[in-house]
Amino acid sequence: MEESNNQYGYHVPVMLKECLDGLDVHPDGTYVDLTFGGGGHAREIYKLLSEKGSLIVFDQDADAKKNAWTAPNFHFVASNFSFLKNQLRMLGITKVDGILADLGVSSHQFNEPERGFSIRADEKLDMRMNQRSGDSAFEVVNEYTEEQLMTMIGKYGEVKSPRRVAQAICLKRQSSPISTTGELINVLEPIAPKFKENRFYAQVFQAIRIEVNDEMNVLERMLEQTAEVLNPGGRLVVMSYHSLEDRLVKNYIKSGKFDGKVEKDFFGNVLKPLNAITRKPVVADEEELERNSRARSAKLRVAERNEG
């Protein structure tokens, strides 16, 4: 293994031990890290593998490839993880023993102001995970109708007054486009709840980011494919950072459906592809929270592929 020169400088891996425990890595197994980023989780998984084992990592962010290394049993896939099944098939792989997904935006992406993720900078509105394709935050903010903005901000930002936000954005862009993150903050400032301004800005930014990257639909497509590619007894480990993601993961593990409705067979057995290993989400301990503030909102769920 040829090491990259980055030891977690790009992104400190959240709940690393808990992720490795959840995956229950077998040295000769085949594992997938769907959110490679800085390679923090992936590097530790790789250390547990023998030469017969293999690790496949996904990341659509071109910056992430710089953190990859060269080895016969390591493969970097420059793709969105919603193409999991097809990309594995292209590598000649149909089944794997474990899948990890850390759904958070990496520290690196937040710390690169030109990406437009952070509320603390004044850079162009972008927020695309894959900067080579799709509409950016600029198009969403400046071209969506007031109704579209209101729906998006209410649903994905869980903001209590989404219409006020949508109206403020539409009013400002009548005179000139909202081009930067700083300009958007200036629009939001007069309507931000007192003493909760930063949380409010973060909620609106979250809503726009989710919309730009189609994150909820992408997550659903990925989760459905994990059940298809996992070997019986294979593990799925997913770490989410807001309630919308966690609800989808929880419902899919519980019922095999995203609305959480349970279907049963003639004998009363629940028809679902996964069994929960963790009944409640695992959260970071106090020691990790002191080291890594990003872990504060992380919820980890672990499931195992049914034998059937």
Annotated binding residues for S-adenosyl-L-methionine, written as ranges, equal 39-41, 59, 81, 102, 109
Runs of H (alpha helix) within the chain: 16-23, 40-47, 84-90, 107-111, 137-143, 146-156, 162-175, 181-188, 197-213, 215-229, 243-255, 286-291
CA distances from residue 308 to 76, 171, 210, 231 in whole angstroms, order as listed: 31, 56, 34, 10
* Number of neighbouring beta carbons within 10 Å of residue 249: 23
The C-alpha angle with vertex 293 and arms to 289 and 298, in degrees rounded to 5, equals 80
> Would you give the distance in Å from CA 186 to the centre of its chain?
28
Q: How many residues does the chain have?
A: 308
Between CA 233 and CA 98 the distance in angstroms is: 9
Contact status, residue 58 vs residue 34, Cβ threshold 8 Å: yes
Between CA 187 and CA 185 the distance in angstroms is: 5
Tokens encoding 166: 């949508």
* Number of neighbouring beta carbons within 10 Å of residue 47: 10
The residue type at 230: L
Annotated binding residues: 39-41, 59, 81, 102, 109
